[in-house]
Amino acid sequence: GARILPPRPLPASNGEERFLMAVSNEGRMLVFPLEQLPEMAKGKGNKIIAIPSARVQSGEEYLVDAVSFGINDEVVLHAGKRHLKLRFADLDHYRGERGRRGHKLPRGLQRVDQIEVLPAIAEDLSPSQEPDTHE
């Protein structure tokens, strides 16, 4: 009864701390530093978010999606026709250690279909031009 998630690229950190966000079908979300997720040998797995084994085996609860993002990125949760755009500061309530249970999302957003990461756009470093105010 296992579900396979599509592979997700892990972009280069460029010195920026990266985080992993995981969401279960019950609407529990956990955010933790990516450095807490060790790379295991020979394809062994890691527990990302705690889901009681009885609920996993019965198919009641499972991991819907997991993404990596940086502090300056925005994350969009898609739940049916609804979506919620979150910045890093909005995620304090959901931060924890790898393998924890996570916290419930607000009603109406608990049935997450997918998580989308909107990468931070590098700001234009050219000198700003003042608008022309001549009439």
Q: Kindly report, residue by residue over 13-33, the tens digit of the pLDDT.
A: 778 899 999 999 999 999 999
**Token pair in block for residue 80:** 């049916």
Average pLDDT, the chain: 87
Output helix, strand, coil percentages for the chain, rounded to the nearest 5.
15, 30, 55
Note whether residue 23 is domain-resident: yes
Residue written as token pair 């990461």: 117
Q: Give the integer Cα–Cα distance in Å for 93 and 71.
A: 15
Note whether residue 26 is domain-resident: yes
Quote the number of domains for the chain: 1
Note whether residue 3 is domain-resident: no
Q: Give the integer Cα–Cα distance in Å for 61 and 42.
A: 27
Note whether residue 32 is domain-resident: yes
| pLDDT digits 0-9 by tens, 35-80 | 999 888 887 788 999 999 999 999 999 999 999 999 999 999 999 9
| CA-angle at 45, arms to 22 and 102, nearest 5° | 25
**Token pair in block for residue 24:** 């279960």
Cα first-last separation, the chain: 70
Note whether residue 71 is domain-resident: yes
| CA-angle at 24, arms to 96 and 45, nearest 5° | 75
Q: Evaluate if pTM is beyond 0.75.
A: yes
Residue 46 domain boundaries = 18-118
**Token pair in block for residue 53:** 């084994």
Note whether residue 64 is domain-resident: yes
Write the CB contacts of 59 (distance below 8 Å, at least 6 apart in sequence): 1
Note whether residue 110 is domain-resident: yes
Note whether residue 127 is domain-resident: no
